[in-house]
């Protein structure tokens, strides 16, 4: 069996995150970085430049005059949002590389992550009144460890998936068949990609049921979003039931009216996110 570190190393030997994506992730929390520094990095990826300019000139922003400057485009879109676009674009290609095999489907997993990321962002913004960009990136990355497991030790990973019953968590079967789990692998990869410690911890702990949890932190937001996605049928595996920490169950019950509105708006928010991050 491999350790989580060995999974990450083997994956990096096969697939490398585009340099621009890794560099943007590293730069995002560096206070000494200027807008010009971002512009210099973005220029290295013509596809990202084209997507950025297409987005900022779309009806979503509604500017009367075309924006042709990369610097101005970044200023309007925001550096965190730009990072999210770059990461989403890079990961989408990996998620959708091959067809379904048995119980596991990369496309189903991608849809799950897309819904969780959108839901995380709007929970952060609507329920807690905080910027949702980091919550979004947590949602996109939280299950990426499963892709690494499937790519490195495919048969063992599929055995873990097949063994997983609706009331189980996949983690216990991953640890039995693979010796580690997707949360630990995802945590190490997020650290390697230069994501902030809070993002790393949310990915590592999104299945941890804490006796007391602050609903407004990234880990809790991610766990709530995954629960809502599961209730709406957007599971990473068929019929798997997501669970919540007791204090988060209480939080949902106390704020049920707000969450009902959020869930009603979720389909439209998913379409909006697809227009921004995936087109």
Per-residue pLDDT at 46 exceeds 90: no
What pLDDT does residue 17 have? 67
What pLDDT does residue 229 have? 94
> Across residues 63-73, what is the average pLDDT?
83
Q: E-assigned strands of 75-174?
A: none
- The burial of 2, by beta-carbon neighbours within 10 Å (0-12 exposed, 13-18 middle, 19 or more buried), is given as middle
What pLDDT does residue 227 have? 95
- The Cα–Cα gap between 153 and 4 comes to 12
Which one-letter DSSP state was computed for residue 240?
A: P
> Across residues 47-53, what is the average pLDDT?
81
**What are the Cα distances from residue 137, in Å, to 35, 128, 203?**
21, 17, 10
Cβ atoms of 73 and 67 closer than 8 Å: yes
From 142, 144, 136, select the one nearest 276 (Cα to Cα).
Answer: 136
3-state SS, residue 101: strand
What pLDDT does residue 198 have? 95
Per-residue pLDDT at 167 exceeds 90: no
Per-residue pLDDT at 239 exceeds 90: no
pTM of the model: 0.86
Lowest mean pLDDT among 167-176, 205-214, 268-277: 268-277
What pLDDT does residue 1 have? 80
What pLDDT does residue 55 have? 81
> Across residues 159-183, what is the average pLDDT?
92
pLDDT band at residue 278, thresholds of 50, 70 and 90?
A: low
- Within a 13 Å sphere around the CA of 18, how many CA atoms are in the beta-carbon half? 21
Tokens of 112: 């799950």
> Across residues 244-248, what is the average pLDDT?
92
Q: Is the dihedral of CA 50, 56, 59, 60 positive or negative?
A: positive
From 217, 247, 213, 20, select the one nearest 123 (Cα to Cα).
Answer: 217
From 114, 125, 97, select the one nearest 234 (Cα to Cα).
Answer: 114
**What are the Cα distances from residue 271, in Å, to 41, 115, 121, 267?**
29, 10, 14, 6
Per-residue pLDDT at 260 exceeds 90: yes
CATH of domain 4-16+100-278: 1.10.3210.10
Cα Rg for the chain, rounded, in angstroms? 19
Q: Where are the domains of the chain?
A: 4-16+100-278
Cβ atoms of 97 and 207 closer than 8 Å: no
For the stretch 97-115, pLDDT in tens is 665 567 888 888 988 999 9
For the stretch 202-217, pLDDT in tens is 999 999 998 888 999 9
Cβ atoms of 67 and 56 closer than 8 Å: yes
Which one-letter DSSP state was computed for residue 4?
A: H
């Amino acid at each position: 069996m491999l350790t989580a570190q060995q999974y990450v190393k083997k994956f990096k030997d096969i697939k490398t995150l585009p340099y621009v994506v890794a560099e943007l992730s590293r730069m995002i929390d560096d206070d000494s970085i200027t807008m010009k520094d971002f512009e210099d990095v973005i220029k290295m990826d013509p596809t990202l430049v084209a997507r950025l300019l297409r987005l900022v000139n779309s009806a979503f922003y509604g500017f009367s005059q075309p924006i042709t400057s990369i610097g101005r485009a970044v200023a309007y879109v925001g550096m965190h949002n730009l990072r999210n676009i770059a990461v989403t674009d890079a990961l989408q290609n990996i998620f959708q590389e091959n067809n379904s095999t048995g119980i596991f489907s990369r496309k189903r997993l991608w849809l799950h992550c897309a819904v969780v990321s959108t839901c995380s962002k709007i929970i952060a913004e609507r329920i807690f009144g905080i910027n949702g960009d980091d919550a979004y990136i947590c949602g996109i990355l939280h299950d990426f460890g499963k892709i690494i497991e499937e790519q490195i030790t495919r048969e063992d990973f599929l055995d873990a998936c097949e063994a997983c019953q609706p009331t189980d968590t996949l983690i216990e079967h991953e640890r039995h068949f693979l010796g580690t789990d997707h949360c630990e692998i995802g945590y190490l990869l997020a650290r390697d990609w230069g994501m902030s410690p809070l993002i790393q911890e949310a990915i590592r702990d999104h299945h941890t049921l804490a006796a007391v949890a602050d609903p407004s932190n990234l880990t809790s937001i991610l766990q709530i979003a995954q629960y809502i996605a599961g209730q709406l049928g957007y599971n990473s595996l068929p019929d798997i039931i997501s669970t919540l920490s007791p204090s988060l169950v209480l939080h949902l019950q106390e704020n049920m009216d707000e969450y009902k509105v959020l869930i009603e708006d979720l389909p439209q928010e998913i379409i909006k996110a697809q227009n921004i991050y995936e087109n």
